[in-house]
């Protein structure tokens, strides 16, 4: 799957975003990408990390609400 074929991070579940983020990080750690590809991977990773943070923040809110309810 190319970056242009990758789904919008906003549509991904936490697990999907996390798994793709792991793949992106592994690719970046190889250090074999061109500068342009590295930037695309970095941007994708940032978007995926933000999606994971959204899911975690939502889960925290739900836990806090359950504790208070």
Across the range 20-43, mean pLDDT stands at 97
Share of the chain above pLDDT 70, in %: 94
pTM here is: 0.85
Domain count, the chain: 1
In a domain, 6, yes or no: no
Buried b / exposed e over 12-34, threshold 16 CB at 10 Å, is beeeebbebbeebeebbeeeeee
Please tell me which residue, 69 or 11, carries the higher pLDDT value: 11
Q: What domain range includes position 40?
A: 12-68
Q: What is the per-residue pLDDT for 3? A: 62
Residue 34 backbone phi and psi in degrees, to 5:
-70, 165
Pairwise CA distance, residues 69 & 56, whole Å? 20
Mean pLDDT of the chain: 94
CATH number for the domain that contains residue 50: 1.10.287
pLDDT band at residue 69 under the 50/70/90 scheme: confident
């Amino acid at each position: 799957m190319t970056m242009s074929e990758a789904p919008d991070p906003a549509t991904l579940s936490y697990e999907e975003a996390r798994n793709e983020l792991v793949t992106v990080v592994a690719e970046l750690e190889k250090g074999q990408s061109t500068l342009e590809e590295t930037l695309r991977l970095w941007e994708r990773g940032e978007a995926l990390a933000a999606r994971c943070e959204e899911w975690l923040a939502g889960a925290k809110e739900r836990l806090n609400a359950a504790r208070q309810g």
